[in-house]
Amino acid sequence: MKLLIRNVHAVDRDLDETTDILIVDGRIARMAPGINEPCDGIEDRVIDGRDLTAMPGLFDMHVHFRDPGQTYKEDILTGCRAALAGGVTGVLTMPNTKPPVDSPEILKYIRKKAKGSGVAVYPVACITQGMEGGELTDFAALKKAGAAALSDDGRPVKNAELMRQALAAAKEQGMLVASHCEDLDIIDGGIMHRGSVSEELGVKGMDRSSEDYITAREIILASSVGARVHICHVSTKGSVDIIREAKRLGVQVTCETAPHYFMLTHEKLRSRDANDRMNPPLREESDRAAIEAAVLDGTIDCIVTDHAPHSPEEKSNFELAPNGIVGLETSLAAALTALYHTGKVSLQQIVELMSIRPREILGIKPETLQEGADANFILVNTKQKWTVDPTKLHSKSSNTAFRGMELTGKVKFTVTGGKIRFEDDALIQMLPEI
């Protein structure tokens, strides 16, 4: 099988040029202008790339696929379909499923179900048994079964000494610990950012000190044992300042944020729509600006989604709804709209933030556009404007905070293993692994 993309703008860490790309049997066979290769086989295809940009497949290191246990919201295969529609060819799945991912058996189930999906699925295992914060899981056994990292995401490890032990044990196993930074006593039932809007709406708020405090705690604990720690979904100016200083001091800390934290604020919740509620919550303009600045200066290592599907019924009540929004299908477009089209970052920086750096943090070989590499890449029309319609998402759920927004940048093709897995608005049938 051959695939030839002609006259495409190709972008990678050390690449920014117009070229042809020839894929043969799942690999990039040639990259050069004016490739003259017969593509007349039954499965062969030629794509006019004059309005397209080729990038390595994206990697989202923070998604919730709800499988096992809550597959009415999402399952591994529908989550992968949503990923492909957003140009995401690899994901790190969080362990707060039902039951939680605290055993080799559940890890094996996730990995087996993901085979043939066209997306590389890397499951995260729990830090504590049942995510209950009482006893550490068997890190060695979980790593052997395929755990790519450790986290109790969805809640923090409340006991600081247990978290210190977890960081030390993870270091011994060469595993990354990712922390959901939230002090539950400070949160105390809050459902949105604590500030002027929560007061106006008469609902309990979530003070930003909750995130700042646990961020500082995790950095101190990691430093004390010489371990790595990854801070999930950073949303406050305080956390950014703490992480920036820790990096300056040489602490092995990395972090992530999501597009909604550098694009939206708590003002959006005035409509009392639960599809704008997530955890951590949308905060104030000073926080939004600080998150954006931290993306631009490199303090924040990568852009993720925290893709968190919930059913329409669950999201129907503003005060009682669970937190979380979907994001896999809007993340690249949102980043292009807010950062690239405003002239704040280059396309190469987008590739760093959304493809290369997440994989590097996890010790996964980055995808690349070069001869001999696996053909795992996306073709994007960076100039195409489109309006987010929740009813057209490929996820089982439609709880997006970007509903009705016009974004600029559309994934047109997603290719993995040399096969077109997604084409514009029509999902290509999932092909089995060969």
Q: Could you list the active site residues? A: 306
Q: In 3D, which of 112, 133, 23, 2 has the Cα closest to residue 373?
A: 23
